[in-house]
Copies of this chain bind each other. A is one copy, B any other.
Amino acid sequence: MVPGMRTIDLSASTGPIGLDKIGLRRPLLDSSLLEETVKNILEEVKTRGDEAVRKFTLQFDKAAITELQVSANEIGQAQNNIGADLKQAIAAAKKNIEKFHASQLNAEKKVETVSGIECWRKSVPIEKVGLYIPGGTAPLFSTVLMLGIPAKIAGCSEIILCSPPGTDGNLDAAILYTAELVGITKIFRIGGVQAIGAMAYGTTSIPKVHKIFGPGNQYVTCAKQLVQKQGIAIDLPAGPSEVAIYADETAIPAFVAADLLSQAEHGVDSQVILVTHQSEAANAVMTELVRQLADLPRKNVAARALENSWIILVKNENHAVTLLNDYAPEHLILACAEADRVAERIVNAGSVFVGHYSPESAGDYASGTNHTLPTNGFAKAFSGVSTDSFVKKITFQKLTREGLANIGKTVEVMAEAEGLRAHALAVSVRMSN
Q: Does the CB pair A367–B407 fall under 8 Å? A: yes
Interface residues of A in 248-278 (CB under 8 A from B): 252, 254-255, 258-259, 261-262, 264-266
Q: Report how many copies the assembly holds.
A: 2
Contact among B141, B298, B352, B409 with A396 in the assembled complex (CB-CB below 8 Å): B352
Q: Which residues of B contact A96 (CB under 8 A)?
A: 113-114, 117, 407
Alpha-carbon separation in the docked complex, A85 to B409 (Å): 9
A225 within 8 A of B: yes
Interface residues of A in 369-402 (CB under 8 A from B): 369-370, 373-374, 376-384, 386, 388, 392-401
A111 within 8 A of B: yes
Q: Which residues of B contact A255 (CB under 8 A)?
A: 426, 429-430, 433
Q: Does the CB pair A423–B262 fall under 8 Å? A: yes
Q: Does the CB pair B362–A422 fall under 8 Å? A: no
A71 within 8 A of B: no
0/1 string, A412-433, CB within 8 A of B gives 1: 0111011111111111011001
Q: Does the CB pair B383–A392 fall under 8 Å? A: yes
A404 within 8 A of B: yes
Query: Closest residue to A225 on the B side, CB-wise?
Result: B229
Alpha-carbon separation in the docked complex, A225 to B194 (Å): 22
A411 within 8 A of B: yes
Q: Which residues of B contact A382 (CB under 8 A)?
A: 233, 392
Q: Does the CB pair B381–A210 fall under 8 Å? A: yes
Q: Does the CB pair A119–B367 fall under 8 Å? A: yes
A3 within 8 A of B: no
A358 within 8 A of B: yes
Q: Does the CB pair B394–A379 fall under 8 Å? A: yes
How close is A214's CB to chain B, nearest CB, in angstroms? 15
Alpha-carbon separation in the docked complex, A343 to B174 (Å): 42
Q: Does the CB pair B365–A415 fall under 8 Å? A: yes
0/1 string, A303-342, CB within 8 A of B gives 1: 0000000000000000000000000000000000001100
Query: Closest residue to A363 on the B side, CB-wise?
Result: B397
Assess A425 versus B93: contact at CB under 8 Å? Given A351-B396, A355-B398, A368-B117. no
